[in-house]
Structure 1
Amino acid sequence: MLLLVPADALRPRRPDAHFAAEADAARALGIKVALVDHDALTSDRADEAVSRVPADDDAVYRGWMLRGEQYAAFSAALVGRDVNLRTSAEQYRCAHELPGWYAAVEPLTPRSAWTVGDDRAAFDRARVELGPGPAVLRDYTKSMKHYWAEAAFIPELDDASAAWAVASRFRELRADDMAGGFVLRRFEEFTSSEVRTWWIDGECVLAGPHPDTPDQVPPDPDLAAVRPLVAELKLPFVTVDLVLRADGRWRIVELGDGQVSDRPTTIPAETMIAMLYGARVEDKL
């Protein structure tokens, strides 16, 4: 396996500090590590970004988020250097963008409606489609939950003006990072901290706290209903964030590509890399 991580912007021969521990852990296991230029990847210079990557037939990226089209250019540039990413461009978009994974896990996730683009008419159509009641707003890849009252939570979708005010603020805050369009998700009352589960080829290999709450020990999730839905997606490396609803049912709040999912500080880098390398961590579920 070849591990690809972003280079430090100021010291390009060193890994970005956020991923340095994983790079060190990989090297300790005898795994090759190569650096890529994240700024070049996000500036339409994919060939330049991978100019120091050696050939390998099983490469895994652990780095910052990329748009679907940026990842596709990244993948194509690597193919030109005889490097094959374990996750294809199509698989990345499926895992990274909510419209790609929503249908597969619909029974276990809040009901959602979304737009293509960010205009008011499309937003209103999605709002009416979801129906009256409270909702949470996001785009295809991210919410603004840290701006809950002004750019995430919509108390009543039937209040068109108030709903659009939240959407407008969300659009302003996301700016050039806005991905795809608006996504409206039916609000559900949750009662636990989130659990981040890590899956390789449809099998859960690791579970722990969410990176936003690394010191909160979440309850052990019941994966009986989750496993077949994640397996059906046939994705090589994903994360699934779970939370308990007020009625005691486990709900999927997010699915993401594992390559760009953050690792909570309470999970050692060595555990992450061993998991990717093929070693199975002890199953605590």
Structure 2
Amino acid sequence: MILLVPADPLRPRRPDEHFAAEARAARAVGLDVVVVDHDALARGEDARRAVASVSGSGLAVYRGWMLGSEQYARFAEALAERGVVLRTDGEQYRRAHELPGWYAALAAVTPRSVWTTGSERADFDRVRVGLGAGPAVLRDYSKSMKHYWDEAAFIPDLEDGAAAWRVASRFRELREDDFAGGFVLRRFEQFASAEVRTWWVDGVCELIGPHPDSPNDSAPVAVDLDLVAPLIVGLGLPFVAVDLALRADGVWRVIELGDGQVSDRPTTIEPQAMMNALLAHAR
């Protein structure tokens, strides 16, 4: 198996420093490590040029910065032309990376959600009314702006259409060209724990740890995956990260699902553990 990582922008033959530890761990277990030009992929430039350093053939996994679904599809196509097949194909990446791709399968274990196609206010108001009164959290298909909680994420009451649109407008402004798909409104739920990031390879939970935003938070002693596990298996996705939190009533809820290739690893999970998880299902 080949591990693909972004190149350091200043030293393009070396892995980006953020992924250098995983690259070293991959080499230690015998994987080939190849750098790709993430910046070129993200800018929509020629994907063939972005993967020009890739040689050989076989199965590959990417561990790097986020790519939009269309960017990833072009990435996969360019690699396939060189005889390298990404373990996660373009359609699988979109289903994991964008909330509408996984929501229906996990609706029973995640906050109720509605979404638009695009960023027009009429569509936003339509889904806002459909979700009903009360608080909600705003995001787009692939990302929230939770670090701008009061101005671009949290809507105290969906009945206040003007206030809700101000939050949506600020979100759209902050996301700029990275805005993905449309607005997503999710019913606000009160949680009693920090988020826990779980890593699933071929439907098996291989790693459990803190969320990268709070790497020093200890995961609860027992994360109950009984309800979640069969639903993740049903998605049929090869490598995903699933963030969970304990709701105030003691029920574990899915906060987010994302493609594992572009989901950050908290510093308290050793890079060797990530490589072992990937290899466990590659042999």
| TM-score scaled by length of structure 2 | 0.97
Counterpart in the other structure of 1:223:
225
Counterpart in the other structure of 2:179:
178
Counterpart in the other structure of 2:74:
73
Name the CA distance, whole Å, in 2 between partners of 1:75 and 1:210.
Answer: 28
Counterpart in the other structure of 2:211:
210
CA contact (8 A) 2:3 2:26 kept: yes
Counterpart in the other structure of 1:92:
93
> SS of the counterpart of 1:171?
helix
1:20 aligned partner, one-letter code: A
Name the CA distance, whole Å, in 2 between partners of 1:182 and 1:261.
Answer: 21
Is 1:27 the equivalent of 2:27? yes
Match of 1:260 among 259, 262, 265: 262
Unaligned residue ranges in structure 2 (runs of 5+): none
**Misfit runs of 4+, over 4 Å:** none
2:274 aligned partner, one-letter code: M
Name the CA distance, whole Å, in 1 between partners of 2:275 and 2:14.
Answer: 18
Match of 1:240 among 239, 242, 252: 242
Name the CA distance, whole Å, in 2 between partners of 1:187 and 1:55.
Answer: 48
2:138 aligned partner, one-letter code: L
Unaligned residue ranges in structure 1 (runs of 5+): 281-285
> SS of the counterpart of 1:207?
strand
> SS of the counterpart of 1:247?
coil
CA contact (8 A) 2:196 2:210 kept: yes
Name the CA distance, whole Å, in 2 between partners of 1:37 and 1:111.
Answer: 37
| Map 1:6-85 → 2, pairs under 5 A | 6-44=6-44, 45-85=46-86
Counterpart in the other structure of 2:160:
159
Name the CA distance, whole Å, in 1 between partners of 2:28 and 2:149.
Answer: 42
Counterpart in the other structure of 1:283:
none
CA contact (8 A) 2:152 2:167 kept: yes
Counterpart in the other structure of 2:135:
134
Q: For this pair of structures, how many residues does the alignment match?
A: 280
Structure 1 residue 279, shift from structure 2 partner: 7.1
Counterpart in the other structure of 1:201:
202
Q: Which moved more, 1:218-227 or 1:259-268?
A: 218-227
CA contact (8 A) 1:192 1:218 kept: no
